[in-house]
């Protein structure tokens, strides 16, 4: 773990030495802030129309935060490739990978460390994003169960996204190309559910089982199901495995 933290400092230093990290993070917070503002505005209108007599199933958390975090996954699809693109690509370009690979560490350790680093960074993002519900908690009561399920979903979804982005970064020494590959893979898993109508009944089930959005919406609506958790974890595991294979294959190229 000590080694991990050391690398994290180096990794963070490198990430924040380029303006792209600031641009990406600014984008993340500005877009989420705007969505939050718009959703709170919409909620206020709804409350005014109800004139103080809310129906029994009226849940402010569901009205504001469920759509907010649904939209946030889309923003993350754009942000994650930017966070992961340089993890391996930049080391390849700067030829520092030759130092890392010839050190007494295995390829899986190299990749897992980078993965943990970027997960930590992602965790910090999520913690900062929690300012939005916490600010409303000051003036009203929130559905903490629903929020907890949603954040569990975000962590799982982030773990899968980051593994996909990290894998993309092992393929190419050009960061931009790595980001593009990462984005393309994420987009594929995202839109695969959209084709459900076109497929037959069997196909529908398969496509929906592969779709990121379908699994996340379960969690974002408060249903914590091991199937969804397993989906994200196996997606993460599979792409980490592919990344390790990609590093191993370089020796034989």
Q: Both tokens of residue 107?
A: 């390829």
Give least dist CB 6 to another protein, A: 5
| Residue choice 14, 152, 174, 208 for contact with another protein (CB under 8 A) | 14
The number of CA neighbours under 13 Å toward the Cβ of 11 is 24
Nearer to another protein, 92 or 228 (CB): 92
Lay out the site mask for another protein across 96-135 (x = CB under 8 A, - = otherwise).
xxxxxxxxxxx-----------------------------
Of residues 35-54, which lie at the interface with another protein (CB under 8 A)? Answer: none
Could you give phi then psi for residue 200, rounded to 5 degrees? -70, -175
Nearer to another protein, 101 or 229 (CB): 101
Nearer to another protein, 47 or 100 (CB): 100
Nearer to another protein, 141 or 251 (CB): 251
Alpha carbon distance 14, 207 (integer Å): 38
The reply to whether 19 sits near another protein by the rule CB under 8 A is: no
Calculate the alpha carbon distances from 121 to 6, 9, 90, 178, 179 in Å.
Answer: 14, 11, 18, 19, 17
Alpha carbon distance 21, 36 (integer Å): 22
Alpha carbon distance 157, 66 (integer Å): 15
Give least dist CB 98 to another protein, A: 5
Query: Is 212 within 8 Å of 164 (Cβ atoms)?
Result: no
Lay out the site mask for another protein across 81-100 (x = CB under 8 A, - = otherwise).
-------------xxxxxxx
Give least dist CB 168 to another protein, A: 22
Q: Which residue has the tokens 């919406």?
A: 217
Question: Which residues sit at the interface with another protein, rule CB under 8 A?
Answer: 2-3, 6-7, 10, 13-14, 17, 94-106, 251-253
């Amino acid at each position: 773990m000590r080694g991990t933290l050391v690398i994290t400092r180096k990794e963070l230093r490198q990430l924040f030495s380029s303006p792209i990290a600031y641009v990406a993070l600014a984008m993340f917070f500005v877009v989420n802030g705007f969505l939050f503002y718009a959703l709170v505005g919409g909620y206020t209108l709804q409350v005014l129309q109800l004139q103080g007599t809310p129906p029994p199933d009226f849940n402010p958390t569901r009205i504001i935060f469920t759509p907010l975090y649904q939209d946030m996954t889309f923003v993350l699809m754009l942000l994650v490739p930017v966070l992961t693109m340089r993890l391996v690509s930049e080391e390849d370009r700067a030829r520092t990978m030759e130092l890392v690979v010839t050190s007494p560490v295995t390829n899986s350790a190299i990749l897992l460390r980078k993965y943990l680093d970027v997960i930590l960074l992602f965790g910090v993002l999520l913690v900062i994003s929690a300012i939005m519900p916490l600010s409303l908690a000051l003036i009203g009561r929130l559905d903490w169960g629903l929020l907890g399920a949603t954040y569990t979903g975000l962590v799982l979804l982030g773990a899968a996204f980051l593994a996909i982005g990290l894998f993309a970064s092992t393929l190419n020494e050009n960061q931009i190309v790595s980001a593009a590959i990462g984005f393309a893979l994420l987009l594929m898993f995202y839109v695969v559910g959209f084709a459900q109508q076109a497929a037959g009944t069997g196909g529908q089930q398969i496509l929906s089982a592969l779709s990121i959005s379908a699994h996340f919406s379960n969690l974002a609506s408060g249903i914590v199901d091991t199937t969804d958790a397993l989906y994200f974890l196996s997606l993460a595991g599979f792409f980490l495995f592919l990344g390790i294979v990609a590093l191993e294959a370089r020796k034989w190229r």
